[in-house]
Amino acid sequence: MKKLLSSSQMQEADSYTIKREAISSTALMERAAAAFVEVFSADFPDKEKSIAILCGQGNNGGDGLAIARLLNLAGYQHISVSLINFGTKQSEDYAHNLALLEQTDVAITPVLLPAALKGLTADLIIDAILGSGLHKPLTGKYAELASLLNDLNKPIVAVDVPTGFPGEGPVDQPYLGIKAELAITFQRPKINFFFPESAVALNSFKVVDIGLDEDFIARQESYWKLNDALTVKSRQNFTHKGTYGHALIVAGNTTTMGAALLAARGCLRVGAGLTTVCLPQSGLIALNTSLPEVMALPRSENLDLEAFEKYTSIAIGPGLGTAAASEEILANLLSLKKPLVLDADALTLLADRPDLFAAVPHQSMLTPHLKEFDRLFGDHQNWWARVETAKKQAFERQLIIVLKNQYTFICLPDGEIYINQTGNPGMASGGMGDVLTGTITGLLAQSYTAADAARLAVYIHGKAGDELAKNSFAISASQLADEIPKVMKGLTG
């Protein structure tokens, strides 16, 4: 499990590594430049292309100078370096690398005004102007330069982080920094790369290891973590369906029966011993036809609450509808005082009934998308604020909040936030969330803790999508559910 640190904490990791390994800061910069060049040259192998490297005067600029020297050494034929000198102080490592570059045949031009780069003709730009040392939004000449470079419509590869993009915290609107095609970042992604607001600053990022002290990073206080794969418990001899739990999914309505079926499919495919769907009578034929393994509990019957005691895990919400009958069944389930998985219409109902929301048992899980989240907790100006609310609410209510997005945030009751990296835009289609709810419920049935079930389900769900995306343009929710057993098998310990 990798922690993500703030920019200032990463600088401490730099300093610690320098002290601990007794390596000089210039040697660490050299390592960073070499790691950048390795990835860059694999992605941009054409050595005939002209490359303009723009270097500020801090350590980000120092990286740029070292990169220029190493690319030149690697045989890139047309490298030019612009020294962006808008009056900031030169760092020592910048000065060191400038002296080294001056001994090569790379063309170096000082730039005192942004307009000097108006006619830049290079095929590609490397942005090493400002990196993680950024401490306020761009203004003046820097903002002017960023705008001019963006308008050139050339591919830009950023060193560590696009100039002007903050590693963490809300991104100012409008964003005035550089828009990069790719950011090659050091040791860890910046926390903000996972927020939708990063779309204005980068299309993709790659992380390169520069050998910073991992033990030091692990010791730092940070609630941000990457959601690595958890080990899936293997199936033991002499076990039976009872060993793997009985999941109940309360879902579906006349025109939204598919949601119930998809949730059931996720639950079944992730390996629940038994799956029952509590759905309207009108859904029985569809259920029996499409998922004969799944049992039905028709919702038209007078539901005996005691009967619910036998289930190992219970989810409510996908396609449920928000009519009075749905509200009643939600209230009844909450009165059992057992943790629930609450999704979709169940969340909409909770948003209108603070009394019911207050009765949600600890360790229950909410799986909202953006709109459902804001309905529950109010509008948010940006994703940073939204995730902060999720963290606070998960802690105060002792819930697990799975805030769904391209990179889903899993907020745990202890205040930790796991960021999931699996998944892709091919999965942006109806029913995906229903499958996720089923997958979580199926893992809970198999006795995973709530936190592990959330983390593993989100990981597996995205990974299944990633596997399918290798050969598919768009991915359907049913297809995704059917891919889950393969992913589970691959993660089995």
Q: Is 55 in the site for ligand NAX (CB under 6 A)?
A: no
Which secondary structure element, helix H or strand E, spans residue 225, and what is its range? strand 224-226
Q: Is 159 in the site for ligand NAX (CB under 6 A)?
A: yes
Q: Is 412 in the site for ligand NAX (CB under 6 A)?
A: no
Taking residues 203 to 242 in sequence order and writing x for each that binds ligand NAX by CB under 6 A, - otherwise, the string is: -------x--------------------------------
Selection from 104, 103, 17, 95 nearest residue 57 by Cα: 95
CA distance 379 to 377: 7
Candidate residues 34, 39, 108, 133; the one interacting with ligand NAX per rule CB under 6 A: 133
**Closer residue to ligand NAX in complex, CB, 191/454:** 191
Candidate residues 6, 72, 132, 348; the one interacting with ligand NAX per rule CB under 6 A: 132
Candidate residues 32, 122, 399, 445; the one interacting with ligand NAX per rule CB under 6 A: 32
CA distance 417 to 389: 12
Candidate residues 2, 11, 382, 392; the one interacting with ligand NAX per rule CB under 6 A: 11
**Closer residue to ligand NAX in complex, CB, 34/336:** 34
DSSP category for residue 141: H
CB of 343 to ligand NAX, least distance (A): 40
For the segment 162-191, give every residue that binds ligand NAX (CB under 6 A).
Answer: 186
Q: Is 135 in the site for ligand NAX (CB under 6 A)?
A: yes
Annotated binding-site positions: 59-63, 127, 131-137, 142, 160, 163, 259, 319, 369, 404-408, 433-434
**Secondary structure of residue 334 in the 3-state scheme:** helix
Candidate residues 52, 56, 197, 464; the one interacting with ligand NAX per rule CB under 6 A: 56
Q: Over the range 453-489, which residues count as b (16 or more CB within 10 Å of their CB) and which as e?
A: bbbbbbbbbbbbbbbbbeeeeebbbbbbbbbbeebbe
CB of 421 to ligand NAX, least distance (A): 21
Would you tell me how many other CB atoms lie within 10 Å of the CB of residue 395?
17
Judge whether 362 and 398 are in contact, CB under 8 Å.
yes
Which secondary structure element, helix H or strand E, spans residue 5, and what is its range? none
Q: Residue 221 CA to chain centroid, in angstroms?
A: 20
**Secondary structure of residue 86 in the 3-state scheme:** coil
Candidate residues 50, 80, 85, 88; the one interacting with ligand NAX per rule CB under 6 A: 88
Candidate residues 4, 6, 14, 168; the one interacting with ligand NAX per rule CB under 6 A: 14
Candidate residues 51, 63, 145, 442; the one interacting with ligand NAX per rule CB under 6 A: 63
Would you tell me how many other CB atoms lie within 10 Å of the CB of residue 164?
26
Taking residues 91 to 130 in sequence order and writing x for each that binds ligand NAX by CB under 6 A, - otherwise, the string is: x--------------------------------------x
Annotated binding-site positions for AMP: 404-408, 433
CB of 385 to ligand NAX, least distance (A): 22
Candidate residues 53, 82, 124, 131; the one interacting with ligand NAX per rule CB under 6 A: 131
**Closer residue to ligand NAX in complex, CB, 10/262:** 10
The DSSP bridge partners found for residue 52 are 80, 125
Segment interacting with ligand NAX (CB under 6 A) among 40-48, 55-63, 256-264, 384-392: 55-63
Annotated binding-site positions for (6S)-NADPHX: 59-63, 131-137, 142, 160, 259, 319, 369, 434
Selection from 144, 157, 140, 165 nearest residue 52 by Cα: 157
Judge whether 161 and 190 are in contact, CB under 8 Å.
yes
Judge whether 229 and 459 are in contact, CB under 8 Å.
yes
Segment interacting with ligand NAX (CB under 6 A) among 74-82, 97-105, 135-143, 188-196: 135-143
What is the DSSP track for 245-291? -EEEEE---TT-HHHHHHHHHHHHHTT-SEEEEEE-GGGHHHHHHH-
* Number of helices (H), then strands (E), in the chain: 16, 17
CB of 182 to ligand NAX, least distance (A): 15
Candidate residues 5, 37, 55, 59; the one interacting with ligand NAX per rule CB under 6 A: 59
Judge whether 418 and 426 are in contact, CB under 8 Å.
no
Selection from 45, 50, 406, 461 nearest residue 203 by Cα: 406
Two structure tokens written together for 170:
């809300």
# residues contacting ligand NAX (CB under 6 A): 27
> Among all residues, whose Cβ is closest to ligand NAX?
133
CB of 33 to ligand NAX, least distance (A): 7
Q: Give the interface with ligand NAX as residue ranges (CB under 6 A).
A: 11, 14, 25, 28-29, 32, 56, 58-61, 63, 88, 91, 130-136, 138, 142, 159-160, 186, 210
